[in-house]
Amino acid sequence: MPAERKLFIKTYGCQMNVYDSERMAEALGGSGYVVTDDAEEADMILLNTCHIREKAAEKMYSELGRLRGLKDANPDLRIGVAGCVAQAEGQEILRRQPLVDLVVGPQSYHRLPQMEARVRGGERALDTDFPDEDKFDHLAARPRARRGPGAFLTVQEGCDKFCAFCVVPYTRGAEVSRPAARVLSEARDLVERGVREITLLGQNVNAYHGDGTGGEWSLARLIRELARIDGLDRIRYTTSHPNDMDDDLIAAHGEVAELMPYLHLPVQSGSDRVLKAMNRKHTADSYLRLIGRIRAARPDILISGDFIVGFPGETESDFADTLALVGAVEYGQCYSFKYSTRPGTPAAERPQVEEPVKDDRLRRLQALLRDQQHAVQRRMVGQEVGVLFDKPGREPGQMVGKSDHLHSVFVFVAGDGVARGDLRRVRITASAPNSLAGTLV
């Protein structure tokens, strides 16, 4: 057995990075590492980074600056950068930051144990290939520890859509789906370890088309099979592209009880002119009709989305179209961002919208989205929903969990024997800005 070493991982960016960090920890478990949440006692620190907006990448460089003291205090400490900044700026990170020992891109995590051995020997290691082999196939050696009630499971990676603003096709590579059998066996393993809710992940998860028995499986087929696993009570998936919502997937929302009534379906803008310039390949109207069909299949579904304001060329009238689309959809939850120029993407070369204009539009959009979110939450009051309890609440005797619609719900459970991982019926009694309160039914 190798000597026990401590691994500290800091994760930025999307849920796929959260999943990848777990898998990296497992891969390095075979090299004798156990995870710590205290960077000061670590023998290896990995920053799992995000490149989606400019600020995300800056965060990594300032975090590296803060780690200098730790490295001075412990010369055996090794520091690695993983994730999408590693992929985009690998060589430059090594050049700019002498304290970085290891740079690994998102498709090369299965090579981490070999890279770790090299950096232990005093070398610096860089791997930002897009290898042919599936990184997940080689990440199987893992401790079968008990898990909390919810888990992520990446089923699809990469993107072939090339929206004009987005770095993902460059940092994560081409769209690849994992074989259905591997997804199913990983899901069964998670359920045996205590998981009751699985969120399937992919940058274009609804474009999933993995090898399965009898040919390629769609996401709908995969969900229907997952739903048959005993003990798996809840299934979610994220993130989806409007153009990949097929009829079967929409139907599954009405038919599969385990598929939760929540859908993250980013539209980015309500202006057809901007959508075209973004290379989104859908219109505001096609999106609204799609939402209509989804709601016909599952009337109580909560829709969430992403918006970008101040995309190059966006006028006040384009922005008014975005506000109108938001008004028509009624989002339960939404993320909105100011357009951030990403070097190497087509939109970076175009005339940019001025910063104060972006600030103003973001403020107005967020005010509208906030009102909608609150209205949707208030409508939940009086309704009965499922809540999967996850942790203690803010007050004694209180537990908090996620509702079917992904709201955080606080419930007083003292004396009712509710434990982490219990799924119970709850009547919603009140709505706070970012959560709900309820009582056990």
Is residue 422 within 8 Å of residue 389, measured between CB atoms? Answer: yes
Which positions from 232 through 261 interact with ligand SF4, judged by CB under 6 A?
A: 241
Q: Examine residue 268 and tell whether it contacts ligand SAH (CB under 6 A).
A: yes
At position 74, the amino acid (one-letter code) is N
Nearest to 202 by CA among 139, 154, 267, 152: 154
Among residues 109 and 165, whose Cβ is nearest to ligand SF4?
Answer: 165
Find which of ligand SF4, ligand SAH, ligand F3S, none residue 337 binds, CB within 5 to 8 Å per kind. ligand SAH
Q: Which of 14, 100, 139, 168 binds ligand SF4 (CB under 6 A)?
A: 168
Residue 249 contacts residue 218 (beta carbons within 8 Å) = yes
CA dihedral sign, ordered 117, 123, 124, 130: negative
Beta strands in 87-201 (DSSP E): 102-104, 125-127, 150-154, 156-157, 176-177, 197-201
Q: Is 14 an interacting residue with respect to ligand F3S (CB under 6 A)?
A: yes
| By CB under 6 A, residue 155 contacts ligand F3S | no
Binding at 87: pick from ligand SAH, ligand F3S, ligand SF4, none (beta carbon under 5-8 Å per type)? none
CA 361 vs CA 322, 331, 366: distances in Å? 10, 18, 8
Q: Is 166 in the site for ligand SF4 (CB under 6 A)?
A: yes
- Choose which of 47, 159, 294, 411 interacts with ligand SF4 (CB under 6 A): 159
Binding mask 184-223 for ligand SF4 (x = CB under 6 A): -------------------xx-------------------
**Nearest position to ligand SAH, beta carbon:** 306
Binding-site partner at residue 340 among ligand SF4, ligand F3S, ligand SAH, none, CB < 5 to 8 Å by type: ligand SAH
Residues 43-72 that bind ligand F3S (CB under 6 A): 50-52
Q: Is 97 helix (H, G, I), strand (E, B) or coil?
A: coil
Asked if the bond preceding 239 is cis, omega within 30° of 0, the reply is: yes
Whole-number Å distance between alpha carbons of 155 and 441:
35
Question: Rule CB under 6 A: is residue 272 a binding residue for ligand SAH?
Answer: no
Residues 235-254 binding ligand SAH (CB under 6 A) are 239, 241
> Contacting ligand F3S (CB under 6 A), which of 24, 47, 153, 168?
168
Please, are residues 143 and 189 in contact by the beta-carbon 8 Å criterion? no
Instruction: Write the binding mask 293 to 322 for ligand SAH: x where contact by CB under 6 A, - elsewhere.
Output: -------------x-x--------------
Size of the site for ligand SAH (CB under 6 A): 17
Report in angstroms the alpha-carbon separations of 107 from 112, 152, 184, 225.
11, 18, 21, 27
**What does the alpha-carbon distance between residue 24 and residue 19 come to, in Å, rounded to a whole number?**
9
Q: How far apart are CA 48 and CA 30, in angstroms?
A: 19
Closest by Cα among 176, 202, 169 to 88: 169
Shortest reach from residue 53's CB to ligand F3S, in Å: 8
| Neighbour tally for 61: CB within 10 Å | 16
Instruction: Assign 63 to helix, strand or coil.
Output: helix
Please identify, among the stretches 63-71, 245-253, 283-291, 339-347, the one whose residues bind ligand SAH according to the rule CB under 6 A.
339-347
Interface positions with ligand SF4 (CB under 6 A): 159, 161-163, 166, 168-169, 203-204, 241
Interface positions with ligand F3S (CB under 6 A): 13-14, 16-17, 50-52, 83-84, 167-168, 171-172
Interface positions with ligand SAH (CB under 6 A): 52-53, 165-166, 168, 203-204, 239, 241, 266, 268, 306, 308, 337, 339-340, 342
